[in-house]
Structure 1
Amino acid sequence: MTSVTIVTGGGRGIGAATARRLAADGHDLVIGYRTDHAAAESVAADVRAAGRRAVTVAADTCDPEQVRRIFDAADRLGPLTGLVNNAGVTSPIGPFTDLRAEDLREVVDVNLVGYVLCAQQAARRMTAGGAIVNVSSAAATLGSPGEYIHYAAAKAATDTLTVGLAKELAPRGIRVNAVAPGIIRTDIHARSGVPDRPDTAAGRIPLGRAGEPDEVAGAIAHLLGPDASYTTGAVLRVAGGL
């Protein structure tokens, strides 16, 4: 059976690396993105060069109708077998007392509400053998004091979503897992106002360096694949020892 997998936030960072890795593993891809059409199309071109089909869909994962559009695009490729819930945002790093309400709402909307809406569509459409991987964060257990506690809290909710949904969907033969990356070398840090964070934080990471997107993509591919056929409700930490 052909694997048809949706990757949200698939135009950059971990999502782009995951799409390329899954193409190499034989998946056809729907690449969701919010604004950067050129980046998403570049990833899609790499997928096609690997011999797989790729469709890009511009969508805000906080909007149920736009989420449905991503999943409808997947239906046109074939029965949905995989979802990588990856679209996420941070906000400026700083003390909790300086957190702006608009930043809080965006972080919760994208990192939690968006994940729920996408997982709901996947749960409605998948059959036995399907798999969902939520991209969480090591922040969920570290708390991120002095940086972005609200982001950590949203990612902790992602872990709970993973565990609960895994139990609910297990009788249908659908697996749900998460990966929890640590500090990974992507452009998400620029959004937080600290673009050099992967380098400045290296000293507090036990392995002594930031991670690379491909290292997270490998973990996601494992959880979607047959070697993880008895794994559900797990949160796999990919954080260099943090």
Structure 2
Amino acid sequence: MTKKKKVTGGNPANRTRREGTGFEDAVMEWAEMFVHHGDNGQAKAAAAVATWVGASDPGRTGINQCVNACYQLQMVLDAVGVTSVLLPVTLKLLNPTSNKVLGSAGTTTPGWSDGYRFWSGHAVLYLPSQGRILDPTIGQAIPAGRASARIPLMGKVTEIIRGTPDQATQPGTRWAVARDGHVAEYQVLEPEYSPLVNAEVVKVLQSSTAGLRDRLPRIVQATNAMLTARENLPGF
């Protein structure tokens, strides 16, 4: 008899997965939450993330590799009609009550080491038409043993700490994005620190995503199927 997969209660985007629950299943639950209860923009972006995970096997290429994940997801979002901007950022996870730093990712002057295998920065996607950010690898900021935030973060920039909404992608702008249990605080870095300014890095990314590019029609079809199912839900 197969044991039923169990999760702790609460928001699916913030659950600590118990043993036996695969990452793909967890992301699907996360996406379905947005598809069923979010607005059209959330639904489309979340569905794209879920189908990307299912079709591209990001675990094989490294779900914790923010550059790979953002580059791949940008391809998928573009294919389903969602514009995104890849930005280099720093990330701090803060306790919403005490403001204590729970974790961090990315340096203020990121660079590459060991050829182009390791990058000391952090990258996210900004969705300008929605005023949202999508961080597929926020788990990089979580200390060992805290797996709940491995699920991607997608949320409105609830507060521009420095800058104005029309300057959301400008260097120095700081965003705060609320999530159950913590606040993710990002600061946008200068464009020179984007991993995509390096021609060798782009060449490697293009080569590594050739298979994903071939699978884009299937990903788009699966995304549209999730959105069609949403239209048949009560209240839509």
TM superposition score normalised by structure 2? 0.31
Q: Which has the higher strand share?
A: 2
Kindly indicate which of the two structures has a greater share of residues assigned to helix: 1
